[in-house]
Amino acid sequence: MEKTVPEPLLVATDLYKIFPLAATWFARRQLLQAVTGVSLSLLAGETLGLVGESGCGKSTLGRLLLALMPPTRGEVRFAGQNLWKLPKDRLRQLRQKMQIVFQDPYASLNPRLTIRHILEEPYIIHKLGTKQQRLDWCEKLLHDVGLPSEALHRYPHEFSGGQRQRLGIARALALSPELIVADEPVSALDVSVQAQILNLFNSLKEKMGLTYLFISHDLSVISHMSDRIAVMYLGRLMEVAPRQRFCHRGLHPYTEALLEAAPDADPGRRLPAPRLKGDPPSPLQVPSGCPFHPRCPEAEPRCRDTFPEFRQVGPHHWLSCHLR
């Protein structure tokens, strides 16, 4: 860790994303608060793990950071440039530097295109290289992700889940990006194949100096991959801290509950009494104050009234809780 202080590659400030749901015969127009007031920075060369339960806004946040959708409020700066203030062609150029790997390798590859077509497309869109160069690049991409170059002439259905995820990664690597958002990239894979893909992510990061936002609901995966970890609940960041900080006490009550609930493959640790009662509330009806207060075992009256400021409580350790 004795590196010089790395520059933030990406800085998000006070991001909001609110989806208006259309009124139907049965329901009034409603607002879905997917992301609420998130500020976050990604340092060049780090892996930031983003963990949270389904519907907490992890994927929406990932897409906002990549400028795949405009935020309702707030801004995203990549390498110092405010993404939504850039002219369109500049933004398109910058997109080469920021790529995404999706969760479901069955749904994210077009079944009617050959692998060559899929991998070549980014180069064609950005008007890079001659035909021969592009072919060479595609072969190199396959090599980088551990697939044979014969794969070029095949279709996605001829590959297993793990191989398809390798293809998804190869496509993301095509334009030599600096930042990759990996949105649950191993949740659809079998346990024995999952490890291959996690190792691949790590070796590529080392080889190419990539920066990852690694989104997962699985704390074991997050603890394995991340340098820093961000915990999200109902659209808000609850806690951001370096990985090692998570083995000590004094974490956000939600983080503590999450850590305790996560099943670990260790029969020495038997089932603890569940700390949290009830379900996470719907993002259509976010509770007042701290969104976690209805389930928090330590909640006090003030938790219901005001949202606790997201503040620094230790070196590189930020959280949002009245009680910590």
Partner 1 sequence: MSDLSSPLLNVRDLKTSFHTPAGLAPAVNGVTFSLQSGEILGLVGESGCGKTVTALSILRLLPEHLSRQSGQIWFQGRDLMTLKPAEMLQIRGNRIGMIFQEPMTALNPVLTIGDQISEVLRLHRGLKKTAALSEAARGLARVGVADPERRLRQYPHQLSGGLRQRALIAMALACEPQLVIADEPTTALDVTIQAQILALLSRLQTQLRLALLLISHNLGVVAQITDRVAVMYAGIIVEAAPTPKLFARPRHPYTRGLLASVPRMNFQDNPENLQAIPGQPPTLGELPAGCPFQPRCPQASVVCSQSPPWIQVAHDHGVCCWLWQDGRGGESHHGEDRA
Q: Measured from the CB of residue 191, what is the shortest distance to partner 1 in angstroms? A: 6
Establish if 224 lies at the interface with partner 1 (CB under 8 A): yes
Establish if 1 lies at the interface with partner 1 (CB under 8 A): no
Establish if 2 lies at the interface with partner 1 (CB under 8 A): no
Establish if 154 lies at the interface with partner 1 (CB under 8 A): no
Contact at 8 Å (CB) between 110 and 120? no
Establish if 264 lies at the interface with partner 1 (CB under 8 A): yes
Q: What is the torsional sign of CA 21, 22, 24, 27?
A: positive
Q: Using the minimum distance from each CB to partner 1, give the nearer residue, 75 or 218.
A: 218
Establish if 277 lies at the interface with partner 1 (CB under 8 A): yes
Q: Measured from the CB of residue 277, what is the shortest distance to partner 1 in angstroms? A: 8
**Residue 152 and residue 147: Cα distance in Å, rounded?**
10
**Residue 310 and residue 236: Cα distance in Å, rounded?**
10
Which secondary-structure segment (H or E) carries 224? Answer: helix 219-225
Q: Using the minimum distance from each CB to partner 1, give the nearer residue, 33 or 163.
A: 163
Taking CB under 8 A as the binding criterion, the range among 68-76, 97-105, 124-132, 260-268 that sits at the site for partner 1 is: 260-268
- Distance from chain centroid for Cα 194: 17
Taking CB under 8 A as the binding criterion, the range among 15-23, 111-119, 147-155, 262-270 that sits at the site for partner 1 is: 262-270
Residue 75: DSSP 8-state: E
Out of 260, 298, 300, 305, which residue is the one contacting partner 1 (CB under 8 A)? 260
Residue 253: CB partners within 8 Å, gap ≥ 6? 292, 296, 297, 298, 321, 323, 324
Q: Hey, is 52 helix, strand or coil?
A: coil
Establish if 315 lies at the interface with partner 1 (CB under 8 A): no
Please, is 94 exposed, middle or buried when counting C-beta atoms within 10 Å of its C-beta (0-12, 13-18, 19+)? middle
The torsion angles phi and psi of 196, rounded to 5 degrees, stand at -60, -45
State the binding string over 42-81 for partner 1 (x if CB under 8 A, else -). Answer: -----------xx---------------------------
10 Å Cβ neighbour count for 108? 19
Establish if 88 lies at the interface with partner 1 (CB under 8 A): no
Establish if 192 lies at the interface with partner 1 (CB under 8 A): yes
Q: Using the minimum distance from each CB to partner 1, give the nearer residue, 267 or 315.
A: 267
- Residues between 158 and 187 with contacts to partner 1, criterion CB under 8 A: 160-163
Q: Measured from the CB of residue 160, what is the shortest distance to partner 1 in angstroms? A: 5
Taking CB under 8 A as the binding criterion, the range among 103-111, 126-134, 175-183, 193-201 that sits at the site for partner 1 is: 193-201
| DSSP assignments along 78-99, one per residue | ETTEEGGGS-HHHHHHHHTTEE
Tokens representing 55? 């519907």
Tokens representing 264? 């670990």
Establish if 286 lies at the interface with partner 1 (CB under 8 A): no
**Residue 70 and residue 98: Cα distance in Å, rounded?**
15
Q: Which of 66, 10, 74 is nearest to 36 (CA)?
A: 74
Establish if 298 lies at the interface with partner 1 (CB under 8 A): no
Establish if 321 lies at the interface with partner 1 (CB under 8 A): no
Binding site for partner 1 (CB under 8 A): 53-54, 160-163, 190-196, 198-199, 202, 217, 219-221, 223-225, 243-247, 257-277, 279-280
